[in-house]
Chain A
Amino acid sequence: MSASAISVSGLRVVRGDTVVIPGLDLDIASGAITGLLGPSGCGKTTLMRAIVGVQRIVSGDVRVLGIPAGLPELRRRVGYVTQAPSLYSDLTVTENLRYFARVLGVDMSEVGRVVEVVDLGHRADSVVVRLSGGEQARASLAVALLGEPELLVLDEPTVGLDPLLRQDLWASFRRLADAGVTLLVSSHVMDEASRCDRLVLMRDGQVLAHETLKDLLSTTSTTDVESAFLQLVQDTGAHT
């Protein structure tokens, strides 16, 4: 296994009166696709925000590419896509990309490249508000790809996409991973697990399991992720 791209230790996040993440340790392998799975509200987004460095944390250490999360030198090396499209809806796809490219200080040729990666060439001059939900999600992903970041943190990037498009997107994730990019992709769709190199199963702010799909299925003696998840929940329930 290669060195970790992300290493989290003792992470604790409290929002208002709610303990979102009580104390979490996790190492994410570099150059691979790690799927972050779990029901909605389990802390996936909070964990991702902590990794990107936009989450206020109570305690713990989060290192990304060997550097404490959120430091300025990481801002060009990490791409982050939230569940909201995070685009200027009154600008075209190209205008959005050009602006973010200027902010990142990357070459303008990047704009054309990322548009092709997410297959939006035919919509490049459309105003974002007129795009479908799936197209907006891909345009948002395109922004994260600007400047070829080493780590991509993608929060539910395939939600609401049709199966064909989901397949295309996963194929491009795979190409990126093959090129050495580390991807952390969250999903509440358990069947996307088969596309990931490694899986992190989360529930109530805790990591239930972190292994390959094959290992997960064999340790829980199940045949699909959904049952494996249920099995793990039952096991932890028995301990407490």
Chain B
Amino acid sequence: MTAARVFATARRVLQQLRRDHRSVALMLVVPIVLIALLKWVYWDDQAVFDRIGLPLLGIFPFVTMFLVTSVATLRERQSGTLERLLSMPLSKVDLLLGYQIAFGIFATLQAVLAVAVTVGLLGLSVAGPLWAVVLVAILVALLGTAIGLAVSALARTEFQAVQFLPAVILPQFLLCGLLATRESMQPILAAISNLLPLSYAVDAMKEIGVAPSVSTETWRDLVIMVLFIVGFLIIGSATLRRRTP
């Protein structure tokens, strides 16, 4: 691994993103519009908005980055650029970290903007520090990137890659504790939800929403998320083969 190659890759990914104004706009604006919608849906009930608004800030980056990464990586595989890169002195770690840094930077931008609008304009109440909210959003984005990378190996076409969204994301959305608390679920489902990375993001966001300082449980959730990221990156790197059939 070399820093020069990691940053060259991150820079290239950001250059590609910058060319695609429409995607960038969608990625930045859509989460904000959705949360604003939610505010108006629960017009009479600020408590509900406060309860689900914050966890949603931790789910949107996951979905966006999962989609962007799985399609981007699939393109790398199909266009032949991946094969070309792997025939050059680039390590898989260079490539993976390059993607993580680029999407991490983008996720920071997305999170800061979303937090500013939801807390500043829409009056979402957050007891904990806002930097913690942004931190969770960034980790969630990196998680989405890591899982997207791993899953893209299973997809042969962009159609299939998009189909992995309901297959991979929706079950986690149902079980993450946003709709019903994880403790109240059928015990087997509760156990499964313990194995899903998104659950820890939602736990962390809920806790930050009510606790004035970042608690030990929140830190534990963040560490678990980092471990998930590393785990999925290892799976993802196993799918990048220099020699293919």
Chain A residues within 8 Å of B, Cβ to Cβ? 15-16, 52-56, 70, 72, 75-76, 78, 80, 82, 84-91, 95, 99-100, 102-105, 127, 143
**Chain B interface main SS type:** helix
- A–B complex contacts, Cβ < 8 Å, 25 sampled: A53-B242, A54-B86, A54-B242, A55-B244, A56-B244, A70-B242, A75-B87, A75-B88, A75-B89, A76-B89, A82-B80, A82-B83, A84-B80, A86-B79, A88-B12, A88-B81, A91-B16, A91-B19, A95-B12, A99-B12, A100-B88, A102-B5, A103-B89, A103-B94, A105-B4
CA distance A53 to B88 in the complex (A): 11
CA distance A96 to B231 in the complex (A): 31
5 tightest Cβ-Cβ pairs between the two chains A and B: A86-B80, A102-B8, A84-B80, A99-B12, A86-B84
CB distance from A130 to the nearest CB of B (A): 12
* In the assembled complex, B85 has its CB within 8 A of some CB on chain A: yes
CB distance from A189 to the nearest CB of B (A): 22
Number of B residues near A (Cβ < 8 Å) is 26
Q: Which residues of B contact A91 (CB under 8 A)?
A: 12, 15-16, 19
* In the assembled complex, B243 has its CB within 8 A of some CB on chain A: yes
* In the assembled complex, B90 has its CB within 8 A of some CB on chain A: yes
| Contact present for A89 and B79 (CB under 8 Å) | yes
CA distance A100 to B87 in the complex (A): 11
Q: Which residues of B contact A78 (CB under 8 A)?
A: 87
Given contacts A72-B89, A91-B19, A143-B84, contact A99 B79 (CB under 8 A): no
Interface residues of B in 188-229 (CB under 8 A from A): none
CA distance A167 to B81 in the complex (A): 27
* In the assembled complex, B245 has its CB within 8 A of some CB on chain A: yes
Q: Which residues of B contact A52 (CB under 8 A)?
A: 87
* In the assembled complex, B44 has its CB within 8 A of some CB on chain A: no
Closest to B85 in A: A103
CA distance A229 to B78 in the complex (A): 33
